[in-house]
Amino acid sequence: MQFDLSGQTAVVTGSGRGNGRETAKLLAENGANVVVNDLDAEPAETVAASIRDADGNAVAVDADVSDRESVDAMFDVASDEFGTVAILVNNAGIGQGDRFLNEPDGDDFRTNLEVHLFGAINCTRAACGGMVEQGYGKIVNLTSIHTKNGVGMSPQYDVAKFSLLGLTKSLALELGGEGIRVNAVAPGWVNTRLTEGFEPQTREQIIDQNPLGRFGDPEEIAETIAFLCAPASDYVNGHELRVDGGQAPIDTWKHRYD
């Protein structure tokens, strides 16, 4: 055990796959009781079962984070099963979007904001009553390399992640006095479902512009999230921690629009 999270109740959204899955598993390995949330029931149940098989505590809840009623019901399950939530990881995310000029009605902007921003708002609202009461809580929001300079390939995603960073900074100010720390982790390009469809040319460009010469792995994102949930980071608040191998600013996305 690297981080002591014994007995703490954690909700990790979108943890049926990718960064969320590795985070749920790592928090459980470090003693947390984990609610494995995902839009898709099956992968969430598989992750929860694998945690239980490893002698951890986990329950799966399929819920759409953008739906406030489903989120409230999920937090009822969390407190009934494990007690007041101490850790919330707002990880659920989508990769939907196209260049601005191809999207005249703005629907993808709404969808991205619904999942990334309002999903985090819904879960934070549901979590923070209990956190305030117990005077203790840790919230980690998954932003992105997109909040470095924007990436441009999907302005809908850029905007949603910048807004989530704004929420992080603002809530860190408001909730710090209640004993609740709010931070963000900004992954670079990571080997998950979100990036598996990248063109070989895009993949090569990313690797060329990365000092470590590779994509990240979801386990590496999970380690940083766990750190921000642990006592080791008790004086870290309102921070966005980049986990991107020092990825250079993306300046070669223009080919996507040619």
Ligand X SMILES: NC(=O)c1ccc[n+]([C@@H]2O[C@H](COP(=O)([O-])OP(=O)(O)OC[C@H]3O[C@@H](n4cnc5c(N)ncnc54)[C@H](O)[C@@H]3O)[C@@H](O)[C@H]2O)c1
Query: What residues are labeled active site?
Result: 157
Separation between Cα atoms, residue 26 and residue 195, nearest integer Å: 22
Contact between 19 and ligand X by CB under 6 A: the answer reads: yes
Residue 182 backbone phi and psi in degrees, to 5: -125, 120
User: Which is nearer to ligand X, 193 or 254 (by Cβ)?
Assistant: 193
Grouping H, G, I as helix, E, B as strand and the rest as coil, residue 249 is: coil
Q: Which residues contact 6 (CB under 8 A, 6 or more apart)?
A: 30, 31, 32
Q: Specify the long-range contacts of residues 210-215, CB closer than 8 Å, at least 24 apart.
A: 210/244, 210/245, 210/246, 210/247, 210/248, 211/245, 211/246, 211/247, 211/248, 212/245, 212/246, 214/245, 215/188, 215/189, 215/190, 215/191
Q: Cβ(112)–Cβ(157) under 8 Å?
A: yes
User: Which is nearer to ligand X, 92 or 230 (by Cβ)?
Assistant: 92
Size of the site for ligand X (CB under 6 A): 31
Q: Determine the residue with CB nearest ligand X.
A: 18
Contact between 65 and ligand X by CB under 6 A: the answer reads: yes
Contact between 245 and ligand X by CB under 6 A: the answer reads: no
Q: Cβ(183)–Cβ(147) under 8 Å?
A: no
Stretch that binds ligand X, among 73-81, 130-138, 170-178, 188-196 (CB under 6 A): 188-196
Separation between Cα atoms, residue 162 and residue 152, nearest integer Å: 13
Distance of closest approach, residue 234 Cβ to ligand X, in angstroms: 24
User: Which is nearer to ligand X, 5 or 36 (by Cβ)?
Assistant: 36
Distance of closest approach, residue 209 Cβ to ligand X, in angstroms: 14
Binding residue (CB under 6 A) for ligand X from 8, 9, 30, 66: 66
Residue 228 backbone phi and psi in degrees, to 5: -75, -10
Distance of closest approach, residue 219 Cβ to ligand X, in angstroms: 11
Per-residue DSSP letter, 191:
S
Question: What x-and-dash track marks residues 86-125 binding ligand X by CB under 6 A?
Answer: -----xxxx--------------------x---x------
Tokens of 16: 């049926």
Question: What x-and-dash track marks residues 190-209 binding ligand X by CB under 6 A?
Answer: x-xxxx--------------
CA of residue 61 relative to chain centroid, distance: 16
Measured CA to CA in angstroms, residue 254 lies from 82, 250, 257 at distances of 49, 10, 6
User: Which is nearer to ligand X, 111 or 134 (by Cβ)?
Assistant: 111
Give, as ranges, the residues between 23 and 52 that touch ligand X (CB under 6 A).
37-40, 43
Question: What x-and-dash track marks residues 125-164 binding ligand X by CB under 6 A?
Answer: -----------------x-xx-------------------
Binding site for ligand X (CB under 6 A): 13-14, 16-20, 37-40, 43, 64-66, 91-94, 115, 119, 142, 144-145, 187, 189-190, 192-195
